Amino acid sequence: MDPDRRKQLESRLQTVLSELSSLCGELGIELGAAGAADTPTPIGGADGQRSEGPILIARNDTLHIGFIARNVQEIVRMVALSAPVEPRPEVLGFVNLRGEAIPVLDLRRLLGQEPTRPDPEQALIILAAERGRIGVVADEVVDIFELGQENYQSRDSLDIRRGFIEGVARVEERLVAVIHPVLLARQAL
């Protein structure tokens, strides 16, 4: 990768992380040392209605994926992964993040896209899951977007076959598949 392009992407990533921190502060979401809240937050409330809030938007090829900002704990550059103990196509490997082994899931494969090898230019998004944390790889972290009921459709109103997709957000001209990390981990691990 061109060094100027890499600097540009690193600068953009820092801007997105800074904005995520600011939005979480405004919403009263406490960021821990590792990033965001430890308990995954579902999109729908107890009454099934979508609560509003920021989502982190990432991209793999032309597919845009979103994660509730509160579930995002860290975003780091892709690093070398250790091989999984029980090899499965959905698990790319494990990353050692400050002494914690975190499984890294192949979101491309889980979403029916052509798998690729991890690349140092990609981002590794660490998410809170039910029993710890999981990582997913994205080609690029794109933006933070404030999600509201007017630009979100829940899985109940759509014919969604992937069990970990909670719904679809409409962001400008894009459709963003919103992923729930607990459901993702349950399906893949």
**Per-residue pLDDT, 123:** 94
Cβ distance 125 to 75 under 8 Å? yes
The three-state secondary structure class of 44 is: strand
Backbone angles phi, psi at 16, to 5 degrees: -65, -45
- Any residues with CB less than 8 A from the CB of 27 and at least 6 apart, and which? 53, 54
pLDDT of 3? 73
d(CA 48, CA 36): 23
Q: Given this model, what pLDDT does residue 118 score?
A: 85
Give me the pLDDT at residue 29, please. Answer: 52
DSSP assignment letter at 36: S
- DSSP E strand boundaries for 35-139: 53-60, 63-68, 72-77, 91-97, 100-105, 123-129, 132-138
Rg (CA), the chain: 16
User: What tens-digit pLDDT sequence spans the chain (189 residues)?
Assistant: 567 776 676 666 666 666 666 665 555 554 443 444 444 455 544 334 445 689 999 999 999 999 999 899 999 999 999 988 888 888 999 999 999 999 999 999 998 898 888 889 999 999 998 888 999 999 999 999 998 888 998 877 776 766 898 889 999 889 999 999 988 988 888
Strand order from edge to edge, sheet including 123-129: 72-77, 123-129, 132-138, 100-105, 91-97
pTM summary value: 0.74
Q: Which CATH number fits domain 3-188: 2.102.10.10, 2.40.50.140, 2.40.50.180, 2.60.40.420?
A: 2.40.50.180
Q: What is the spatial distance between Cα 71 and Cα 184, in angstroms, rounded to a whole number? A: 12
Kindly state the DSSP code that residue 41 receives in the 8-state scheme: -
pLDDT confidence of residue 103? 94
CA distances from 72 to 35, 88, 113, 126, 150 (A): 7, 24, 23, 6, 23
Nearest to 51 by CA among 177, 149, 155, 182: 149
